[in-house]
Amino acid sequence: MTEQNQSHFRERMTITGELDAASFLPWIRRHAAKLGLLQAVSHSSADRIELELAGPEELIDMMEMGCSLGPIDVWVETIERQAMDSGEN
């Protein structure tokens, strides 16, 4: 087997809109798990969710696309992403 050198990124994603956190948060967790991303929600309310994601940049891009389309009971207005310190030595 050959070892692939995949770059891992840490980003904070802020999602705003008309969000039903009770259904959207479990959806976010399932979607992140399917993509193999590490995730942690730092804030959630009816109009804003902040989460931290870690993984390959392409998969974080896919997570953003998934969240923008999201489940039927949410309306995502904006998604902002901010790079975080990777914490690597």
89 domain residue, yes or no:
no
19 domain residue, yes or no:
yes
Rg (CA), the chain: 13
CATH of the domain at 47: 3.30.70.100
46 domain residue, yes or no:
yes
> pTM to 2 decimals?
0.84
65 domain residue, yes or no:
yes
Helix axes 57-69, 21-35, angle to 10 degrees: 150
The model's pLDDT over 19-78, given as tens digits with 9 standing for 90+, comes to 987 889 999 999 999 999 999 999 999 999 999 999 999 999 999 999 999 888 899 999
Domain count, the chain: 1
> pLDDT confidence of 82, banded at 50, 70, 90?
very high
> Would you state the torsion angle of the CA atoms of residues 53, 82, 42, 7, taken in this order, to the nearest 10 degrees?
20
What range does the domain containing 31 cover?
8-83
Longest dimension (CA), the chain: 46
